[in-house]
Amino acid sequence: MKKLISILLICPLLLIGCSSHNDSLDSSNKKNSTSSYQDIYLFGGKIAANTSSNVSSKINAKISQIKVDVGSKVNSGDPIIYLDTKDLQAQVDQAQASVATAQANLAKIKSGSRPEQIASTKAAVDGAKDAYDIAQKNYNREKQLLASGSAAQINVDQAEQVLSSAKAQYESVSQNLTMLQNGSTESDINAVAATVNQAQASVNTAKTSLSYGVITAPISGTVSVKNVNEGEMSGVGQILLTIVNADQLHVDSYVPQELLTKIKVGDQVNVKVSNINNGVFQGEISVIDTQIDSRNKDALVKVTIKDGNNVLKPGMFAEIGCKNKVGVKIEK
Q: How high is the mean pLDDT of the chain? A: 81
Domains and CATH numbers, the chain: 2-80+223-326 (2.40.30.170), 90-208 (1.20.120)
**In the chain, which ranges are E strands?**
36-56, 61-66, 73-74, 79-83, 214-216, 221-226, 233-234, 239-256, 268-272, 280-288, 298-306, 317-326
* Mean pLDDT of the region 101-109: 82
Which of 81-95, 99-113, 191-205 comes out lowest in average pLDDT? 99-113
The C-alpha atoms of residue 272 and residue 319 are separated, in whole angstroms, by 5
pLDDT at 113: 66
State how far the alpha carbon of 155 is from the alpha carbons of 137, 164, 242, 243, 308, in Å: 13, 14, 88, 90, 109
Q: How many CB atoms lie within 10 A of CB 285?
A: 19
The C-alpha atoms of residue 77 and residue 216 are separated, in whole angstroms, by 5
pLDDT band of 295, cuts 50, 70, 90 = confident
State how far the alpha carbon of 23 is from the alpha carbons of 19, 29, 327, 331, in Å: 6, 11, 10, 11
The C-alpha atoms of residue 292 and residue 300 are separated, in whole angstroms, by 8
Cβ within 8 Å of residue 159, ≥6 positions away: 135, 138, 139, 141, 142, 143
* Mean pLDDT of the region 206-214: 94
Q: 295: helix, coil or strand?
A: coil
| Residue type at 38 in one-letter notation | Q
pLDDT at 325: 39
> pTM of this prediction?
0.58
* Mean pLDDT of the region 299-328: 79
Q: Tens digits of per-residue pLDDT, 46-65?
A: 999 888 899 999 999 999 99
Q: Tens digits of per-residue pLDDT, 115-152?
A: 888 888 899 999 999 999 999 999 999 899 888 888 78
Whether pLDDT at 17 is above 60: no
State how far the alpha carbon of 225 is from the alpha carbons of 60, 83, 317, in Å: 21, 19, 19
pLDDT at 31: 39
Q: At what angle do helices 86-111 and 186-211 cross, to 10 degrees?
A: 160
* Mean pLDDT of the region 5-31: 38
pLDDT at 294: 80
Closest C-alpha among 47, 45, 41 to residue 310: 47
